[in-house]
Amino acid sequence: MLNLSHVGKRYGSLVAVDDLTFEANPGEIFGFLGPNGAGKTTTISMIAGLLRPDSGTIQLNGGAGPDQPHARRGVGVAPQALALYEELTGTENLTFFGKLAGLHGTVLRERVAWALDFVTLSDRQKDRVKTYSGGMKRRLNLAVAIVHDPPLLLLDEPTVGVDPQSRNAMFEKILELKSRGKTVIYTTHYMEEAERLCDRVGIIDRGKFLALDSVDNLIEEYGGKSVVTAQRRDGEVRIESSDPLQECIKLQQEGGILSLRVDRPDLERVFLNLTGRALRD
C-alpha cells in the first residue's frame, strides 16, 4: 500500500528526515509519534508529493511515486493546517475537490453526500465554511480527504485544536475508516491517540525512527517495568516490577498501606527511555 525506502530530506544543514524505511499494510493504521519538529509533517508531505525526497524512494499503491498525478488519485490528505475555501459552502468544497480527484455526475453527488454524512455535517452543508466552528472545519477537512474514496489516507495531526468530545467522535470515524479497509498514516504528538488508534507506531525524533512496532511491543521492549507506588503511614514506597499485581498483593500482606497506585509503562515512557526527553519537551 505504501512503501518508503531509505527516504531522506534536508533543509540546508538541517536534517529533517533521515533514512526512513517502513511499509504500511492495507487496513492498517500506522502512527508517527514524535514531538513537534521531529519530521512527521515533512514525511507526510513527501508521501503526498508536496516535497521531493533528497534520497530514497516512495511507492504508493503498488509502485508509482507520489510525483505521478495518477498515483495520487489513491491518496487522501487531511493536512494539519486546515485547507478549505472559507467562502465556499461545505458541499461546494467537497464537490470541487471531488472533481479534481476525477469524480463527476451522480457518483460525485453521492460521494459528497456520503462524506458530509460521514462527518455529520449534512445539516450545515449549505453554509459557508467561514461560519463553521473549529471542530466542524476539522471534520470537513477529513471529509475532503475521503470524498474520492482513496485506499490510503494521510492524516496529519487531525485533532489539533479539537475539543475532547469532537476528538472522540473523530477517533470513531477513523476507526470506522479502518474497518472499511483504508490504510491510515496518522501523525500525532499525543501518545493517547497513538495508543488508542494505531496498529503500529513509528517513534520519530530528529527525522529518524527510534523504534517501530505495535504499541504493546514498544511498551514491552522500551517502556521498562511498571511502577507500584504505595502510601504508608511511614512514607511513600516506589517499586519497579514486571509483575505489579504480585507486588501489590505482597505490599498489602505487609500491612500499613494507605493507598496503592500502579503506573504501567506507556508510549511517553517509551519515548523518554529512548531519547532521555519527554514527548512534549
Give the interface with other proteins as residue ranges (CB under 8 A): 9, 45-46, 48-52, 69-73, 75, 77, 79, 81-88, 92, 96-97, 99-102, 104, 144
Q: Which is nearer to other proteins, 105 or 255 (CB)?
A: 105
Q: Which is nearer to other proteins, 54 or 199 (CB)?
A: 54
Least separation in angstroms between residue 146's CB and other proteins is 13
Q: Which is nearer to other proteins, 79 or 223 (CB)?
A: 79
Least separation in angstroms between residue 251's CB and other proteins is 54
In whole angstroms, what is the distance from residue 25 CA to residue 212 CA?
14
In whole angstroms, what is the distance from residue 178 CA to residue 172 CA?
10
Tracing cell 530530506 back to the chain, one arrives at: 9
Under 8 Å between Cβ of 213 and 220:
no
Q: For the chain, first and last CA: distance in Å? A: 33
Least separation in angstroms between residue 71's CB and other proteins is 8
Least separation in angstroms between residue 2's CB and other proteins is 14
Q: Which is nearer to other proteins, 77 or 112 (CB)?
A: 77
- The Cα-based distances of 124 to 19, 111, 114, 132, 139 in angstroms read 44, 16, 14, 8, 12
Least separation in angstroms between residue 56's CB and other proteins is 14
Q: What's the grid cell of residue 26? A: 492495507
Q: What's the grid cell of residue 62? A: 503498488
Q: Which is nearer to other proteins, 49 or 265 (CB)?
A: 49
